[in-house]
Each structure stands twice: as structure tokens, then as C-alpha cells.
Structure 1
Amino acid sequence: MTAVDRYTGPIIDSHIHLFDASRDEGIPWPEPGHPLHGVALAADYWALAEKHRITGAIVVEASHWRLDNFWLLERVRQSPHLLGFIGNLSPFDAAFHDDLSRLEREPLFLGLRYGNLWQRDVLDDQTRPGFIEAMQRLAATGRTLDSANPDPRLIKGLIRLSDAVPTLRIVVDHLPSASVPGEHWADFQRDVLALAERPNVFAKLAEIPQQGNEGLVTDPAFYRDRLAYLWDAFGEDRCFFGSDWPNSNSVADFDSTVNLVRHCMADKPLAVQEKFFLRNVAHAYSLPVLQGAR
């Protein structure tokens, strides 16, 4: 495989985080003492991303504080190449419907994130009063639900949720790094295949790089084997790229992350690579653009 076979066109990065620990109120994540605790803002991201022909990015809220949705909205408004953001609201918060009504008037609001973190559990929570109604309301806005922290329980919860609200678009984040004990791997793969049968479910292939005994694994064959079942499940039209910056820095620097993913995809036709890096994300989030800037 030669360098000319690797996709070199524009990229939309579907998964970055912004935060500012210098705010008076601080931030809930990354916590004080965490290696990433500090400041990660749009200017920091674009200083790294522009040389890779990343022309647009989507921010995913890393805070479960409801008012941080509006802090993040202001940051996105100030950076013309940020295409929008995935917010975070709890269906069990008394302000949920008012907050969603406020956000849905914003074109930059692309959806909500809900997964097995922040003491939440998709499988259990959808049995509680109000959850399914909240997801129906989200679906009615035309926005997307991003999941978080994939494990076997989350996938089972998403299958049940997709069946309960079939009009809801769902993006499963970070599937390449799913936490699955070896004895449950076969069952997990079967559930992922079952989830992928729902046409409104997409796979965000963020957190691809992995650390081995000798540091970052750089062999593309290692990743192609790990990703094969996801390509089989979701196909070339429902998989797309996310860097997970700056959380990705705990595994690899930004240049290494992007270059490694390019190498991993280089065995696919250029048209398929273009879908992965640019076009599929627009369908997952109903973006009105396919090539970056608003």
C-alpha cells in the first residue's frame, strides 16, 4: 500500500472536548490531579489540526453540569470551524425539557450524550419514569444521541432503547476501545452486530490507538483485525472518524493519532476512506455541510 492510496482530503473530526479549569467554578472533568486537568480550547485544537486538513470538528460535552451546555455553546459560536456540539442533559433533571427547548433553537446543537458514566446506566435508566419520553422528545428535535463508555451492558441498553424509540439516531462512541472481559467478547460482538441491524445506529471509531508492552502499537494490521467486526456490522456508510482530543493524549499525541488512523484505513478504496473521514458524520448528525467550515 503506497502513500498515494491514503486519503489526504478534508476531514471532519467528530469528537473533541473543550474545557477550562481556570474558570471560577472549575470543571468536573478532568479532575484536579488528572494529567489533562487544565485548559483545552478551540485555538489549542486548531493549532494541531489544521495541518492534517481537518476543516471541521464537533465538540462533545465532557461535563455533566447542565449550565456547562451553555458555556460550551458560546465556545462553539466563537470558533467558525466548529460545526456544533453534543450536549449533556439528564432526563431526570427538573429543567430537562426547558433546557432542551432552549437548545433545540440553536443550529449548533447537534444532540445529547448519555451513557454509562456520571453514575448513569442506559439499561436501568430507561425503565425509570420519564426517560423514554425524553428520548422521544430528543428524536422529535431531529438531533442525535451519543452514547458513552461502551461495554456489554451499554450495548444491550442501546438495543432496547433503539427498539423503544426507533426514530432516534444513535451514535455509539469509542467502540474500538470497548471494555469487555475476554469471556464475554463473543457475546459482545453478537450484540454489536444486532445493534447495527438498526439503520439509525452509527459507529464513531474514536479511541482507535492502543498502547502495548512497548508503547504505542503502530502496526496497521493490529488495528484492522480489531476493527474488522465493526466494519462488518456497520458497513462503509455508518462508520466515521473521531480523534477524542485531548483525551487521546493519554495514549498518543495528536499527530500520531491522525496518522495512525489514516494508515489503518489505507487498505480501503479512496471513496470509502472519504466517507469515513468526511461524509458519514454529516448523515449521523444531519449536518448541512460536508466539507468543514460553516
Structure 2
Amino acid sequence: MTTSLPSASAGLGLRRALLDDLLDAPAGAFDFLECAPDNWIGVGGRHGEALHALSSRHPITCHGLSLSLGGVTPLDDTFLARTRRFLDRYNVSLYSEHLSYCTDDGHLYDLMPIPFTEEAVHHVAARIRQAQDALGRRIAVENVSYYAAPYQAMDEADFVTAVLEEADCDLLLDVNNIFVNAINHGYDARAFLERMPSARIASYHIAGHYDESDDLKVDTHGAPVRDDVWSLLSQAYATHGVRPTLLERDFNFPPLADLCAELQRIRQLQAVHHADAAAQAARG
């Protein structure tokens, strides 16, 4: 598990609709910013200047959208080369992608679920290793939200762990996705969380979701984080340790002060669990 960010750090997604607010934000409002390189590679003009200005003030992490690690078409070598140049240019210490696929003879513009099979483990792990070689760095893969389960010869936790081990990569643990999937597919979110491999967790994501019904939650990133998800994040810190944590918000943007209040809640949880860990260490 590799990252140069402090373990107790809280970041915010770099979205174009937030650019002016982020540029005007007071020092210390957030510890890092995360962007999708797919949306920024080759961008110039005012947006490119804003990205350059923000990267000169704040650490940048990257979360990809279109690598399609679970797909069957060959990885895009040109895109990987451009991504590597982008990561190098902005000194990105943490690059992550989704444990899913998004291409099939063209871009699907959605994150599609992978069958949970041994064959899929070998297939995806090989593509992750290929991507890591091309990018010249370890990457983290994210457990994704999914609404259809095409085939499950093994359960999700075993599948995720097997991919991580065979690919020898890291995990971006999305806490909201665990909660959403647990409701939608009828499993215990806390038990799933306990089974994740602590040593491979590079960072966490947290976000809001939409309550379609009691048994259907939609991972929208368009609302405040729910109390149940905050509780699950606290358990993640207690179980696996404090890691850099990213607040995802993609639309329905509130004032920046409201987002910073959520970041402060992350920081408070991190401080509590850091203190608990220190106390336990002191007791031997």
C-alpha cells in the first residue's frame, strides 16, 4: 500500500463547477483534491490554468473513469501513455480506477459489474498488472456499486480480495458503495467491511446516495453523506486504520462551506481513531 498523503487527510473532488470556489477557498479548507484524468488530459484555457493553479497549492490524486479494467477489448496503450504523463506532470501519488468495465466495442458511459468468477479474477488481475506496468506505478482499484449481478460463483468480498492478491495492487475502499450494495443485494455491510484486507487499503471514498426505497439505494454522489455511512466510515477507521479520505460530490453542489463541514466531520473521525490507536499502542 503506497501513498504519500498523510493518513489523516480529507480531500474533495475537483469538479469544474467548483473551480472558482476551490480557487478562493481559505488555506486548510481541504487537504487534497482528486480529479479524473480522463476529463482533464489535454485541457487548456481557463480550466487548464485553474488546474495548474490548484495543483501548485494542493496535492492532487486521480481517480480514473474509462480504463475498463474488467473489459475484454485491449487496454488503450495511447490513453495509458497520456495518463502516465498527466500523473507525472502533477506529481500524483495515488491513482485509482474502478473494479468494473465500461467498454464493449465502444464506450458505455457507465460502470458495469464483472461476474464474480475465478476466470474473471485472472482476467482482471492480468489487465491491472498490464496497466501498472504501463503507468510505472501501483494503482488502487475501487469496489464499485452495482445493481445487477451477472454471475456470482464466489461472493463479492472473496472476489475483490482475490483480484487484489493476484494483481498485487491496492484497494480504494468506497464506504458508500459497501452500504449501497449491502442494502441492494441483502448482505451485512459491516461484515463485508471486516473482510477487506487492511494492508492493501490506500484510501477511502465516501459519498451521498439516493433512497429510491427501503431496499433500493442509488449511488448518486449528489447528496450529503447519510448517518449510516458515517457510522460505517468510523468502523472502517477502527478496523483498518485511518487513511486519506475523499468526499465525492458530483452534482447538486451546495455552498463550499457545507462541503467543508463534511470534510471537518471526516477530520474529527480521523482524530478520534488516531487517538484510540495511540492509546492502544501505549497500553502495549
- For normalisation by structure 2, the TM-score amounts to 0.59
Q: Which residue of 2 aligns with 1:29?
A: none
Q: Which residue of 1 aligns with 2:124?
A: 131
Q: State whether residues 12 and 32 of structure 2, in contact with CA within 8 Å, keep that contact through their aligned partners in structure 1.
A: no
Q: Which residue of 1 aligns with 2:64?
A: 87
Q: State whether residues 204 and 244 of structure 2, in contact with CA within 8 Å, keep that contact through their aligned partners in structure 1.
A: yes
SS at match of 1:171: strand
Superposed displacement of residue 231, structure 1: 2.1
Q: 1:99 aligns with which of 70, 74, 79?
A: 79
- C-alpha deviations, 1:261-288, integer Å up to 9, x for none? 4246536647938x9xxxxxxxxxxxxx
Query: What is the rounded CA distance, in whole Å, between the counterparts of 1:178 and 1:223 in structure 2?
Result: 7
> Within 5 Å, which residues of 2 pair with 1:97-176?
97-105=77-85, 106-107=87-88, 108=90, 110-116=94-100, 118-124=110-116, 127=120, 131-140=124-133, 141-147=136-142, 149-150=144-145, 155-165=157-167, 167-175=168-176
Superposed displacement of residue 131, structure 1: 3.1
Q: State whether residues 147 and 172 of structure 1, in contact with CA within 8 Å, keep that contact through their aligned partners in structure 2.
A: yes
RCO higher in structure (CA 8 A, sep ≥6)? 1
Q: Which amino acid aligns with 2:30?
A: I
Query: What is the rounded CA distance, in whole Å, between the counterparts of 2:96 and 2:205 in structure 1?
Result: 18
> Within 5 Å, which residues of 2 pair with 1:231-250?
231-236=237-242, 239-247=243-251, 249=253
SS at match of 1:159: helix
Q: 2:33 aligns with which of 57, 79, 86?
A: 57
Structure 1 gap segments, 5+ residues each: 1-10, 20-39, 276-294
> Within 5 Å, which residues of 2 pair with 1:181-200?
181=183, 184-186=186-188, 188-197=189-198, 199-200=199-200
Q: State whether residues 98 and 142 of structure 2, in contact with CA within 8 Å, keep that contact through their aligned partners in structure 1.
A: yes
Superposed displacement of residue 100, structure 1: 1.5
Superposed displacement of residue 129, structure 1: 7.9
Q: State whether residues 171 and 204 of structure 1, in contact with CA within 8 Å, keep that contact through their aligned partners in structure 2.
A: yes
Q: 2:15 aligns with which of 18, 26, 39?
A: 18
Q: Which residue of 2 aligns with 1:272?
A: 274
Structure 1 pair 139–97 and aligned structure 2 pair: CA distance change class (3 A): same
- For normalisation by structure 1, the TM-score amounts to 0.57
Instruction: Please tell me the root mean square deviation across aligned C-alpha atoms, in Å.
Output: 4.3
Query: What is the rounded CA distance, in whole Å, between the counterparts of 1:218 and 1:175 in structure 2?
Result: 8
Same amino acid, percent of matched pairs? 7
Superposed displacement of residue 162, structure 1: 0.9
SS at match of 2:137: coil
Greater displacement, 90-99 / 73-82: 73-82
- Work out whether 1:42 is the aligned partner of 2:39: no
Superposed displacement of residue 259, structure 1: 1.8
Q: State whether residues 143 and 174 of structure 2, in contact with CA within 8 Å, keep that contact through their aligned partners in structure 1.
A: yes
Query: What is the rounded CA distance, in whole Å, between the counterparts of 1:90 and 1:219 in structure 2?
Result: 29
